[in-house]
Amino acid sequence: MDRFGWVPSVGGNISVRLDAERIAITRSGGRKGFLTREGVMVVDLHGASLTEGGRPSAETGLHCQIYRAFPDVGAVLHGHSIAATVLSRVVEGDGIVLSGYEMIKAFAGQTTHEARVVVPLLDNDQDIDRLSGIVAGRLNGPVPGYVLRGHGVYAWGRDADQALMHLEALEFLLDCEFQARKIN
């Protein structure tokens, strides 16, 4: 994620499910490109710290929500790419429509580039509990991810490899839309 510029400065978060009740998540304020063991802590599925002296990311609740909604999810990634951040500020409505791209087939159930998928686009909110409630109603589509307006992308998968594959596909598709709008 760092190599692609998706976690600039102290932005973004990474989490993995440890078991049915616990997740490991990056601490607040750390640079993900220089992540060490000390930069990760353990929380329960409601975001309560299980690591002494630990302060998880302010957005831990959004990670926990995905783990609670999807018991088969093993990893959640959140990045702040330029394309997703800027595109989300110019797209109106509550979704970013993607169609005609071969990369759509990276998402389960999509077998043709002719598919039309909508990536949920939600307004950002500093009240994570309120935002989690809004996001909860939008997690049932074909894309294992969503975009927060002016903020960035959340993507998930059964393990870290699949979550990264979904994030890469989603970021690629969002960048394609961003570049197409620049041309037009």
Interatomic CA distance for residues 121 and 90, integer angstroms: 11
**Across the chain, what does the average pLDDT equal?**
91
Q: Is the dihedral of CA 95, 163, 68, 81 positive or negative?
A: negative
Q: What is the pLDDT of residue 108?
A: 86
Q: What is the pLDDT of residues 102-136, one digit of tens each?
A: 999 999 888 888 888 999 999 999 999 899 989 98
Structurally, how many domains does the chain consist of? 1
* Six token digits for residue 174: 């969002």
Phi, psi for residue 128 in degrees, rounded to 5: -65, -35
Instruction: Please check whether residue 1 lies inside any domain of the structure.
Output: no
Instruction: Please check whether residue 2 lies inside any domain of the structure.
Output: no
CATH number for the domain that contains residue 93: 3.40.225.10
12 touches 1 (CB < 8 A): yes
Instruction: Please check whether residue 169 lies inside any domain of the structure.
Output: yes
Domain that holds residue 105: 13-183
pLDDT over 80 at 65, yes or no:
yes
Name the band, by pLDDT with cuts 50, 70 and 90, for residue 92. very high
Q: What is the pLDDT of residues 128-173, one digit of tens each?
A: 989 998 998 888 888 999 999 999 999 999 999 999 999 999 999 9
Name the band, by pLDDT with cuts 50, 70 and 90, for residue 57. confident
Annotated binding site for Zn(2+): 78, 80
Q: What is the pLDDT of residue 167?
A: 96
96 touches 118 (CB < 8 A): yes
Annotated binding site: 78, 80
Name the band, by pLDDT with cuts 50, 70 and 90, for residue 82. very high
One-character DSSP codes across the chain:
-TTTTSS-TT--EEEEE-SSSEEEEEBTT--GGG--GGGEEEEETT--B-STT--B-TTHHHHHHHHHH-TT--EEEEE--HHHHHHHHH--SSEEEEES-GGGGGSTT---TT-EEEEEEE---S-HHHHHHHHHTTTTSSSSEEEETTTEEEEEESSHHHHHHHHHHHHHHHHHHHHHHHH-
Q: What is the pLDDT of residue 13?
A: 93
Instruction: Please check whether residue 131 lies inside any domain of the structure.
Output: yes
Mean pLDDT of 23-45: 88
Name the band, by pLDDT with cuts 50, 70 and 90, for residue 88. very high
